[in-house]
Structure 1
Amino acid sequence: MKEIEFIINGEKLETLKHVLDQFSNRGITMTSAMGYGHQHGLKQVYTRDDRQGVALLPKISVRTVVPDDEVDGIIDAVVNRLSTSSFGDGKIFVRAIEQAVRIRTDERGDDAL
């Protein structure tokens, strides 16, 4: 099993959900985030004393856990649908998951997904 994390712009969330739904109905976890990459974000001043500001852009982190054999297809489909070839398109991270357990039924491994 692998956890795939997508860091994307918020306006791409519905497209990402549509792509993921084509592969499975396992669900996602989404959190709001702030960050920057090569573009170094926007300067935002939070207080009058904060002359430098903070260089952060609003992003969304979306995570899902899938069987190993689905990872490459999901990544290919997401890159195909979300890429604009511009800075800020986002990142994808893949992590190994050792175990998953569905608390309700005690199913384990891929069955718990």
Structure 2
Amino acid sequence: MSRDFVNSICRDLPGAEWSDPWGGGHDAWKVGDKMFACIGTANDGVSVKTPDIETAQMLIDAGVGVKAPYFHRSWVRLPFDADEDEMRYRLVASYDLVRASLTKKVQATLPQRS
């Protein structure tokens, strides 16, 4: 998989927006102005949010991902050679988690999730 694969999944999520907040070639995907996925300049994987530190650690222990540099411990970085279904699942789960954490007012402004 690649940056393009990840970006194609994120691009299709309702209300998802791309940015490069730090410059230099980052792909940061946000919903309601909160990040749910980020590809760094090293271009070796994508960082995603998990529900909690324990889930992130479980994914790290299982070899699915590694600690996401520069992010809270509830984030993991999935390498581009991760299983395609796992990658898709984790990206969508991260999006859903972040979207659900938004205020009801902000959620109401977003396109419906099918």
- Same topology, TM > 0.5: no
Which structure shows the bigger proportion of residues in strand conformation? 1
Which structure shows the bigger proportion of residues in helix conformation? 2
Structure ranking higher on relative contact order (CA contacts 8 Å, 6+ apart): 1
The TM-score, its normalising length taken from structure 2, stands at 0.29
The TM-score, its normalising length taken from structure 1, stands at 0.29
